Structure 1
Amino acid sequence: MYLINIITIALGLSMDAFSVSITEGAVAKVIKKRYIILIAFTFGLFQAFMPLIGWGIGNLTFSYIERYNKIISLCILVFLGLKMIYEAIKNKGKKIDQQLGIKRLLLLAIATSIDALAIGFTLSSLRASIFTSILIIGMTTFLLSALGVVIGKYLGLFLKEKAEIFGGIILILVGIKIYAGF
């Protein structure tokens, strides 16, 4: 039962990173293996590391973090989504290579993994091994993020110039989903 619970948690936690990975694959002009691995590794690492932090901090600060995690994710993702849409409209007709900078990648990784911080607090109630849990969470997120970039690449070919607007809308919707608790 423990393993099923952890896999279910891992799949749930990785959905935001998967969605954002699709967006990044759609707006990138060139996708190399290194790009896919960078995104997947960063999202997987953050999704694995956040529960470890939550586990370590314990229940002392849980109510404080839980109170703000959704609004922080919403603000970051809406900001990045609006920025993408603005840049797409501003640069309409221009050939722009949307490079994923380290700052943007880290912001996306943080925004999509804040909920994993709270999971660290609750893993102890499952009598879960934290190291097995973070390994499963990290690997699941890595695999789904890599798949998301590849799916996004082909979606981007279909959407062409609208891919950046589509990507911005996806980021905003992921932020709203996190905030609304779907």
Structure 2
Amino acid sequence: MKSCIHIYCGDGKGKTTAALGLAVRACGCGKKVLVTRFLKNDHSGEVNAFTRLSGITVTPCGQSFGFFSRMSPDQKKEAAIYYSQMLESTINKAVTENFDLLVLDEIMAVCNFGLAEERRVLEFLSSRPEGLEVVLTGRDPSEKLVEMADYVSEIRKVKHPYDRGIPARQGIEY
């Protein structure tokens, strides 16, 4: 079976939710799933749920740097080293441990902010094992990523509670 590359992008809520829904579906069919969440901490409902499921491995996020726009130049350098290493570690684990599905959550933001090289993501995608399905999430994928992908789904915001001053709610947005 040919594996595919999925992109969930856009400015709407639901990119991660869609990717993790696919992870649950794959797990339910006996597939081995690796989820790596960039730019996020581990204090999220899905991380708690996945610890209860055998078949889904979540890469722990050992360091949090906060919002990119609030990082100092030194924090940005430190974050770039950390996320580049996290990407390499994830790629190595996905390949050597024979995962069936890899979710790279917020990888587009990491690349767009210069915290990891998109060139490395593209190299990995073009040389990944034949059976490894890969999901990429985030805003503004490059033309090269879109061209390489088999699925591209754009999630567009029409309305969002945040626009009315309602903060992110546990169990819904995180």
**Greater gyration radius:** 1
Question: If the length of structure 1 is used for normalisation, what is the TM-score?
Answer: 0.26
Q: TM-score, normalised on structure 2? A: 0.27
- Greater RCO, CA 8 A, separation 6+: 1
Higher helix fraction: Structure 1 or Structure 2? 1
- Which structure shows the higher strand fraction? 2
